[in-house]
Structure 1
């Protein structure tokens, strides 16, 4: 079928022509070997189920898109012709909103329960919240009630949110995701609806490991994940699974992946092209249920009346209805974010910045204990005159307590080394860390004699103490005016990013922060504030603006030996 004709065997589940397939109206997934008898049995059962919440209760045979039947067959009937073992142990399907996900998933779960011959096993259908998991259960229960034959096959216990296949005693339990969903043995099958929501839950990765059996037992659980894109940039377990799925799809997933990716999305470069995805003639490519559960005119009306109202509403609309990844195709407003990814300088680090710069300044954004503390360094390259940027953040334990929804994301940054996790007893680790950076710039002779380190508050006694201890002078440490007074930095940086003259290390921490910035324009000024960013963090970006303000003064380095640094 198309891409298997080439002599070069592709890695398993790789689908390099996924975009061509989408353009032809086919599911964006690799072909897998199928046990035809099993497939026919699964489809016959699935097709007879009726939609409980649609007038006339049409059966799946006419109401369900072909794309989902392909997913169902790949997941429930894949088989290695030599070992007779399933090939697809896991499947991740990302499909936009309103493609009848929850209904189809409920029907798939009942089909799996019917196909499972092993006695007294456990299956889970998991939703990230009470109302999503209850909706899945209601759909399953509704389908059984509409069909006397299904009623004789399954016992429904409403109070337990459980469906049991009478003949085998195997149960399908509908649960809300939490750390105690897996008790005892590993479920033979777990279906997770709206996986992206779990990116905000701190312990999700540990629970996923339990569901998968931790890789220790002989018995493997099968896992089907189905979700829309998240309405903020991917984080936590959602980012991990999405990255893995894309790698497998693109042939970079190792030799024996067990997850089949089915991702309805535009290629990254087309997600970045706002003209492309705003053109409604392209929407059908990622909406496999158009004409079934999705009425095109209603979708257009919804976009015109709700989606387009502001940058922010458009961002959420596009992420949900077109799977545009936030941070790639859209940011909620700051223009600089659109050009950010294009300004990565490969291999740039703080060391290289120091090596290449003729002058450098540091910006610091200090917060309370439940906030990030951030620093940024901007150097001017002596060869090209371009500005080079590096940043880092510090987090006290309180941040992980107070901001549970961003904790998984912060841990990702800590793994990258862009965020330092401070221990409870280490209350001054952040101010010490930024002073050490300043000392490095000082020792390299890169700091100007005045306006070398810009801080955001006058409340900087702790910073002063550490800085002066490292040999930074009173003239070098300055308070940078905040709010509207940062307008020159906000606009100046936009312009430099667009021109490609502001270069940075490509740190995930910064990409996230830049995507969180939401500017407010007032008269002839602009402000980007923490209040507007809400729970999302922008501290490293604010530290960057502080450094930017100092670089706008066109500083000259004092040179080595201008200050005595005794290495306190």
Structure 2
């Protein structure tokens, strides 16, 4: 690696593999320089990058010394990440790759890092970063990248490697690579053109990831790539990213700047058969050992305490004890429109914090129509959008969210909105947490507002019947929510707690994100279900 310290020099090797093209005048171009580098082959930017990577030399394992050959699934990742618009510019800014361990995630990421440092994706004075939970993990990408470079004399000759602080500088482009441990403070002030978030499931929080993402905002083609296998602890940044990726993939959050690539075995698949292993291990049969996974599976079968780790690390499953709510297919089947007719029941879920999301729902049991409106303080919409990782601005424009003036949920303003919204409707009751009832009644009295407020318990005994009623309406297809994306998001975030008697309630502590629109909806449907049916009167004529 050359000398260490401030006076470090580029390292050289004498082995001469197929030459690699160096930096051209723009990213992704296939311009060769005067030292005899071969031009890159490919009609697209992604194909030229693939060509460049496949001239790197594998440095360890059974294939050491051979050119790197990408599997088709690896090429598909590159093609998707490096797709360009009509101006030839990359539009993906964030990518997430998740699969079982030992499938070559780090090797691919290291090759991409090298390409952004001194290859076809390099820019003048770029910043290439890799970050991990600890210093040891952070050095893995560094070591792999340097090993690639040292097999190519023309690359080694231009790189200044400083192993003592895990940095590399390219003498041609002026670009710098640096390895970071997961401390967000170290990322502030940096402006990465390309960054790797390595094993992000092991990170304590999203602070560093978000710092890397915002730091790249100064560049029109910055790319942040998260690579990770899942963790047995489901409370980690990777799960947030995968949930967002799933919402992008199914159209809930249209976002062409975000791409996720996930290989994971379904929770209901048999974990002990090879067909299931292949779902989470795309390299199985090429450079991922079937025998190794078979050995792990046998141990996990015999030692139950190892099953969670096997499911997380090998099958890449989201291991959690939480009980989730509704299946997406069942929910989406109820996306029809219905008429707002007959008696109406409403639900109100007030924010636990003065500035958090609040929701109000309307439910017409005769037709099954369900609508919901959410509320946020107007001055904090962008802050809450960032905190909750939800497209609040988009939903605000679509009329799904109302902005309450100020920096807090003004309860008087909210009750006035409710009074106007229910005017002309046959509203039977507005259910809300009994602990908020007195406060709201006082506000209503002060403002001269009359509302049919009805206290609702939020414990197991009170919530369980409401949840059952809501679930039944969805499964029987009698509820129609009109495809509301705000409500779909809340449903996808929901988790249930259960007591020893089997009673259930929605858990805000274990939820994946905000569930307030769902809580308000469950309250409304539960109220309607608990309302006694009208009794017909029968008169017996008694002959005297």
Could you say whether these structures have the same fold, taking a TM-score greater than 0.5 normalized by the shorter chain as the test? Answer: yes
Please name the residue that 1:122 is paired with.
126
Does the CA-based 8 Å contact 2:360-2:517 persist in structure 1?
yes
Aligned counterpart for 1:70 among listed residues 39, 64, 75: 75
**SS of structure 2 residue aligned to 1:225:** strand
Does the CA-based 8 Å contact 2:96-2:261 persist in structure 1?
yes
Aligned counterpart for 1:541 among listed residues 514, 518, 534: 518
Aligned counterpart for 1:211 among listed residues 207, 213, 216: 216
Q: TM-score if structure 1 supplies the norm length?
A: 0.63
Structure with greater helix share of residues: 1
Query: Quick check: 1:161 aligned with 2:166?
Result: yes
Does the CA-based 8 Å contact 1:179-1:204 persist in structure 2?
no
Please name the residue that 2:335 is paired with.
345
Q: CA deviation at 1:488?
A: 1.0
Does the CA-based 8 Å contact 1:156-1:164 persist in structure 2?
yes
Q: CA deviation at 1:359?
A: 0.7
Please name the residue that 1:333 is paired with.
323
Aligned counterpart for 1:444 among listed residues 424, 445, 449: 424
Task: Sort the Cα spacing of 1:288 and 1:170 in 2 relative to 1 into closer, same or farther, 3 A.
Answer: same
Please name the residue that 2:282 is paired with.
288
Deviations 1:227-258 (A, max 9, x none): 459868999887777777888xxxx99xxx8x
Query: Quick check: 1:394 aligned with 2:375?
Result: yes
Aligned counterpart for 1:94 among listed residues 89, 92, 97: 97
Does the CA-based 8 Å contact 1:195-1:238 persist in structure 2?
no
Task: Sort the Cα spacing of 1:111 and 1:344 in 2 relative to 1 into closer, same or farther, 3 A.
Answer: same
Task: Sort the Cα spacing of 1:113 and 1:378 in 2 relative to 1 into closer, same or farther, 3 A.
Answer: closer
Q: Which runs of 5+ in 2 are unaligned?
A: 1-41, 535-544
Q: TM-score if structure 2 supplies the norm length?
A: 0.65
Please name the residue that 1:495 is paired with.
472
Q: CA deviation at 1:479?
A: 1.2
**SS of structure 1 residue aligned to 2:361:** strand
Aligned counterpart for 2:54 among listed residues 30, 43, 57: 43
Aligned counterpart for 1:551 among listed residues 522, 528, 538: 528
Query: Quick check: 1:477 aligned with 2:453?
Result: yes
Deviations 1:461-517 (A, max 9, x none): 3321344556536xx322112212221111222222111112224333333333343
* RMSD of aligned residue pairs (Cα, Å): 5.5
Please name the residue that 1:369 is paired with.
353
In the alignment, the residues of structure 1 paired with residue 411 and residue 178 of structure 2 have an alpha-carbon distance, to the nearest angstrom, of 47
Write out aligned runs for 1:54-203 (5 A).
59=64, 61=66, 66-67=71-72, 70=75, 92=95, 94-98=97-101, 99-115=103-119, 121-127=125-131, 129=133, 134-140=138-144, 143=147, 154-166=159-171, 169-175=174-180, 181=187, 189-191=194-196, 193=198, 201=206
**SS of structure 2 residue aligned to 1:290:** coil
Q: CA deviation at 1:281?
A: 1.6
Task: Sort the Cα spacing of 1:157 and 1:178 in 2 relative to 1 into closer, same or farther, 3 A.
Answer: same
Does the CA-based 8 Å contact 2:359-2:517 persist in structure 1?
yes
Task: Sort the Cα spacing of 1:513 and 1:322 in 2 relative to 1 into closer, same or farther, 3 A.
Answer: farther
Task: Sort the Cα spacing of 1:290 and 1:421 in 2 relative to 1 into closer, same or farther, 3 A.
Answer: farther
Task: Sort the Cα spacing of 1:42 and 1:455 in 2 relative to 1 into closer, same or farther, 3 A.
Answer: closer
In the alignment, the residues of structure 2 paired with residue 79 and residue 399 of structure 1 have an alpha-carbon distance, to the nearest angstrom, of 34
In the alignment, the residues of structure 1 paired with residue 515 and residue 48 of structure 2 have an alpha-carbon distance, to the nearest angstrom, of 55
In the alignment, the residues of structure 1 paired with residue 432 and residue 248 of structure 2 have an alpha-carbon distance, to the nearest angstrom, of 40
Larger radius of gyration: 2
Deviations 1:401-423 (A, max 9, x none): 99898433374675454444555
In the alignment, the residues of structure 1 paired with residue 502 and residue 275 of structure 2 have an alpha-carbon distance, to the nearest angstrom, of 38
In the alignment, the residues of structure 2 paired with residue 122 and residue 35 of structure 1 have an alpha-carbon distance, to the nearest angstrom, of 19
Does the CA-based 8 Å contact 2:115-2:122 persist in structure 1?
no
Q: How many equivalent residue pairs?
A: 477
